[in-house]
Amino acid sequence: MALAAVSAGLILPASADSVAATATCGRNEIRLYEQPLAYEVVRDGKAVVPKTPCAVMLDGRCQKDAKLVKAVKARGGSAPVATPVYKKASVDVSAEYAIADFGDFAVRLAARADGVAWRFELKKGAVINGEDASLTVPAGARCWFNRTGDWGAEETVPEFADAAKLPRDGRMFYLPFAYSVDGVTVAVTESDLHDYPAWYLKDARDVEGGVRLVPAMERYPKATFRESNDSDWSNRRKVEKGGRWVRVSEHEGFLVKAEGARTLPWRVFILADSPSKLCEADIVYALATPAKADADFSWVKPGKVAWDWWNCFDNQGDKGCNTKTYERFIDFAAKSGVEYVIFDEGWSAALDIWKFHPDVDVPHLIDYAEKKGVGIILWMAWAQVYGDEEKVAEHFAKLGAKGFKVDFMDRSDAEIAVFLEKFAEACAKNRMLIDYHGAYRPVGLNRTYPNIVNYEGIHGLEQMKWAPKDKDMTFNDVACFFLRLTAGPMDYTPGAMLNHRIGEYSAGEGQKFPGSVGTRCHQMAMMALYEAYLQMLCDSPTNYEKNEECFKFMAATPVVWDETVGLPGCPETMAAVARKAKDGSWYASGLTNRESRDFELKTDFLGGGEWSAEIFRDAPESDAEPMKYVHETKSVKAGDSLRLHLASGGGFAIRFTK
């Protein structure tokens, strides 16, 4: 029986010989066509990604018209596999595969219950000049997305638009890109990226059946230079060594040179019945390269971090960057059960990790923390470690540091991808954690190296350090749950205790007293809502001690989970989730944008029995006084509903225990 092509919602017959291969799992199917190459994503018999060109250019020759040699089907993966650091205790990594052989290369298709994917596989070395990984968004789709004008810079506020009105101003769309059409939600992202540029989309144009976005990928760097700055960020200058950035001054005419057989990244399409179920998908993790069979990552210890930079060294400004203040942070972490303290920018001499700040006794502080059961994580700009990955990891591991926060990569080419993997491997050898700040979104590398415990790639709470008075972060906070978080953990840095009404926020003297907009419970909800295996607690020890009731709850919220269940919501209204902790308790949390709303929390996820619910929710006066909240305990029977009112910019956080 001939397969069907779908265009503009109409199922039309297609000749069987135009279909090179298909992979199907339950309701999901991906089809590959030949001469010219094209793919199509189908759910329940309807195309949710209409037939779209795909191709790879090898040694200057576009392979779009290659003829099929043979196609085979296979089942891959084992189910389930334990996940040492993840949102679930285990993941079914199996998939139905189809491999279409075109001689010098192949196209592999994958289908799973949570989505589908395709990728190119090269059989021999070649110069990869380009790849056509276009996306056709169906007509009538409602789209949710982020855009950027710079490679690797992924910290913008989300946007919404119907497909026909997607922006056409030349800025790039970065992934995940999500949309809903005919009752199906699609999130487009990638997985298993190694030695290859990140995938962007641009140039929306009308085509039959929808709007097409074409790929944009940063070409390989031909020439680079190091750039630094002093206390005045506008004063940037080239430097011979070190610095803050390694900039590209000239690109090659290719993406990367393949020295031998290799794979390209998976082009992933998460498929769900509603936006709220995107958080349950595992396809990015499942399709990523697993850690080496003989690798031991049992030492990886996820946890919370007491952070210095956002709160200006406990609200003291630069004068607080000293040994005494860091002892204060360490004492606070030890007393409150927070696993780590980070030394952000300032612990070393200006952008020189080989020289300590004269007022910060780093060896003493690492030893001081070790004796109190607290680990120290060190910040550095990536230009400080680039080219010295092994040396840096070994040196600071011997000093006793537990990991690094690496910042300011701000690129998306293949060279930066190699660095991310190379440094992760060097740190793994020395049992050190990594938080990749100033980097693009996760692409599955944290499965290969579970010591990568967080990524930035998010318009996070740091933006409130310099925000204009009318800034509304609550809009961003809701949407990023369905967009950025779909790719993997994110370093949003939540937990502000100075909470303000939208439009009435001011960072205060010299940004010394930063806060948030929205309610206290909005911030508390983020602890379970946002995945971050290394979760930064942004506020100061002083502010947390003044708000001990809320802080204790946040500090006790886990960062890794046994189960994750999406609760009703969408990018334009609110976000909510339920997660099961390893001790058997459940956490449910949710937050809304500037619109207040009522939410019915159905507790079917609890399974059965009687539970005690510890609840933090918005108070009746929270609209006017965002720091107000209600803390209460109720008995709940599994399956009962809790009715919650969320104030403007509000939220809730609940722990269920037997």
- pLDDT-derived band at 15, boundaries 50, 70, 90: very low
**How many angstroms separate the CA atoms of 242 and 228, rounded?**
8
Q: Could you tell me the CATH number of the domain that includes residue 494?
A: 3.20.20.70
Tens of pLDDT, residues 565-582: 999 999 999 999 999 999
Inside any domain, residue 333: yes
Inside any domain, residue 568: no
Tens of pLDDT, residues 160-187: 999 999 999 999 999 999 999 999 999 9
* Res 233: pLDDT: 73
* Res 231: pLDDT: 67
Average pLDDT over residues 347-357: 94
Specify which residues 348 forms β-bridges with.
356
Residue 509 has pLDDT above 80, yes or no: no
Tens of pLDDT, residues 32-75: 999 999 999 999 999 999 999 999 999 999 999 999 999 999 98
Q: Which amino acid is at 607?
A: G
Please check whether residues 135 and 281 belong to one and the same domain. Answer: yes
Please check whether residues 273 and 331 belong to one and the same domain. Answer: no
Tens of pLDDT, residues 101-140: 999 999 999 999 999 999 999 999 999 999 999 999 999 9
End-to-end CA distance of the chain: 54
Full DSSP string of 496-543: -SSEE-TT-----GGG-S--EES-HHHHHHHHHHS--SEEEE-S-HHH
Domain membership of residue 395 as a residue range:
303-474+487-552
Confirm if 23 and 98 have CB atoms less than 8 A apart: yes
Please check whether residues 535 and 418 belong to one and the same domain. Answer: yes
Inside any domain, residue 320: yes
**How many angstroms separate the CA atoms of 274 and 186, rounded?**
9
Inside any domain, residue 644: no
CB neighbours of 72 closer than 8 A, spacing ≥ 6?
98, 99, 101
Q: Which amino acid is at 472?
A: D
CB neighbours of 484 closer than 8 A, spacing ≥ 6?
146, 154, 176, 441, 457, 458, 490
* Res 11: pLDDT: 25
* Res 6: pLDDT: 24
Tell me which residue of 455, 491, 500 sits closest to 473, measured CA to CA: 500
Asked if residue 13 has a cis previous peptide bond (ω within 30° of 0), the answer is no
Please check whether residues 26 and 105 belong to one and the same domain. Answer: yes
Please check whether residues 269 and 345 belong to one and the same domain. Answer: no
Residue 7 has pLDDT above 70, yes or no: no
Inside any domain, residue 296: no
* Res 508: pLDDT: 62
Please check whether residues 360 and 265 belong to one and the same domain. Answer: no
* Residue bearing tokens 């993790």: 285
State both tokens at 381: 């700009």
Catalytic one of 190, 308, 407, 456: 407
In Å, how far are 30, 64, 65, 99, 108 from 68, measured between CA atoms? 17, 11, 9, 10, 13
Q: Could you tell me the CATH number of the domain that includes residue 277?
A: 2.70.98.10
- pLDDT-derived band at 3, boundaries 50, 70, 90: very low
Average pLDDT over residues 216-234: 90
Please check whether residues 280 and 368 belong to one and the same domain. Answer: no
Query: Percentage of the chain with pLDDT > 90?
Result: 92
Number of independent structural domains in the chain: 2
- Considering the entire predicted model, what is its pTM? 0.95
Please check whether residues 511 and 397 belong to one and the same domain. Answer: yes
Please check whether residues 15 and 125 belong to one and the same domain. Answer: yes
Please check whether residues 35 and 180 belong to one and the same domain. Answer: yes
Final residue before a domain boundary, out of 552, 567, 592: 552
Inside any domain, residue 617: no
- Report the largest interatomic distance among the alpha carbons of the chain, rounded to a whole angstrom: 76
* Res 576: pLDDT: 98
Residue 419 has pLDDT above 60, yes or no: yes
407 noted as active-site residue: yes
Tens of pLDDT, residues 447-467: 999 999 999 999 999 999 988
- pLDDT-derived band at 77, boundaries 50, 70, 90: confident
545 noted as active-site residue: no
Final residue before a domain boundary, out of 552, 567, 590: 552
Q: The dihedral of CA 8, 10, 15, 16: what is its sign? A: positive
Catalytic one of 192, 462, 491, 618: 462
Report phi then psi at 27, rounded to 5: -80, -10
* Res 1: pLDDT: 23
- Across the chain, mean pLDDT equals 95
Inside any domain, residue 421: yes
Tell me which residue of 25, 70, 31 sits closest to 48, measured CA to CA: 31
Inside any domain, residue 558: no
* Res 510: pLDDT: 58
Please check whether residues 456 and 396 belong to one and the same domain. Answer: yes
Final residue before a domain boundary, out of 499, 525, 552: 552
State both tokens at 621: 């006066």
Please check whether residues 190 and 320 belong to one and the same domain. Answer: no
* Res 17: pLDDT: 55
